[in-house]
Amino acid sequence: MNSKKLAGEKAVQYVKDGMIIGLGTGSTVYWTIKKLGELVRDGLDIRGIPTSKNTEELAIEEGIPLISLSEIGQLDITIDGADEVNPDLQLIKGGGGALLREKLIASISKRLVIVVDESKCVSRLGRFPLPVEVTPFGVEITSKQLQVLGCTPKLRTKKDIPYKTDNGNYILDCSFSSISEPIELTNKINMLPGVVENGLFVNMAEIIVVAKKDGHIDYL
Ligand code: 5RP
């Protein structure tokens, strides 16, 4: 049983004709986008806004019509994955490096639906290192400032060079042993001048679709 596929496909139940949909990034929402492609080919009338270049390519491949952010003020729904989810529907995102676009698009969506397999559910956030998107300029300084907030930051790399986001920034993956006050932490991190955005999504998700190993679905 592929739990990611199960959760991803299940979320299309929230999509209706005429909607503008934020298309998340990652291997779980991949299945949502594939399913939406099938439905579009069967006549579903939707417009998508991708949260990353990878997702944009996939949506085009699937024949999902896209619309640009400059043409709209609000989205009906965004469907996206997550790296961690707690019982208060707070999330860590950004494992795939798309957190800035994901958060921006989620912030103007009427609903944010998250699709995960059960391995992403935790009682307290923080086991997964928190991705923080930072400017390349002054990255060493920003890293030290983040350390003062109680974590060990590590510059994300790809093939031994710094990983660059779709926005041309770097990611510092910040290991906190656990995050007990996500709201306070997100505010403190975003106060740092070199920080563009962090991967804590607090008070944003409305529904979490959790696929269990045994094939059952839970809704948080
Ligand atoms: C990308 C993300 C992804 O949604 C998150 O990493 C989950 O990915 P996956 O479904 O592949 O486990 O936040 O920036």
Residue-wise pLDDT for 92-133, tens only, equals 999 999 999 999 999 999 999 999 999 999 999 999 999 999
> Is the pLDDT at 32 greater than 90, yes or no?
yes
- Cα of 200 to ligand 1 centre, how many Å? 13
List the residue whose alpha carbon is closest to atom 8 of ligand 1.
Answer: 26
Give the position, in ligand 1's atom list, of the atom nearest the Cα of 26.
Answer: 11
Q: Helix, strand, coil: what percent of the chain each, to 5? A: 30, 30, 40
Cβ of 82 below 6 Å from ligand 1: yes
Q: How sure is the predictor about 135, in pLDDT bands with cuts at 50, 70 and 90?
A: very high
Residues annotated catalytic, as ranges: 102
Cβ of 96 below 6 Å from ligand 1: yes
Question: Which residue numbers belong to the known binding site for substrate?
Answer: 25-28, 80-83, 93-96, 120
Q: Is this model's pTM higher than 0.95 or not? A: yes
- Cα of 82 to ligand 1 centre, how many Å? 5
Q: What is the pLDDT, as a whole number, of residue 83?
A: 98
> Is the pLDDT at 49 greater than 90, yes or no?
yes
Please, what's the b/e burial string for 87-123 (b: 16 or more CB within 10 A of its CB; e: otherwise)? eebbbbbbbbbbbbbbbebbeebebbbbbbbeebbbe
Give the position, in ligand 1's atom list, of the atom nearest the Cα of 24.
Answer: 4
Cα–Cα distance between 49 and 102 in angstroms, integer? 10
Cβ of 95 below 6 Å from ligand 1: yes
Structure tokens at 63: 């024949």
Cα–Cα distance between 85 and 89 in angstroms, integer? 6
Give the position, in ligand 1's atom list, of the atom nearest the Cα of 80.
Answer: 4
* Average pLDDT in the chain: 97
> Is the pLDDT at 1 greater than 90, yes or no?
no
Place of tokens 């949909």: 21
H and E: helices and strands count for the chain: 6, 15
Cβ of 83 below 6 Å from ligand 1: yes
Cβ of 25 below 6 Å from ligand 1: yes
**Mean pLDDT within 208-215:** 96
> Is the pLDDT at 154 greater than 90, yes or no?
yes
Give the position, in ligand 1's atom list, of the atom nearest the Cα of 93.
Answer: 13
Q: How sure is the predictor about 46, in pLDDT bands with cuts at 50, 70 and 90?
A: very high
Q: What is the pLDDT, as a whole number, of residue 156?
A: 98
- Cα of 95 to ligand 1 centre, how many Å? 5
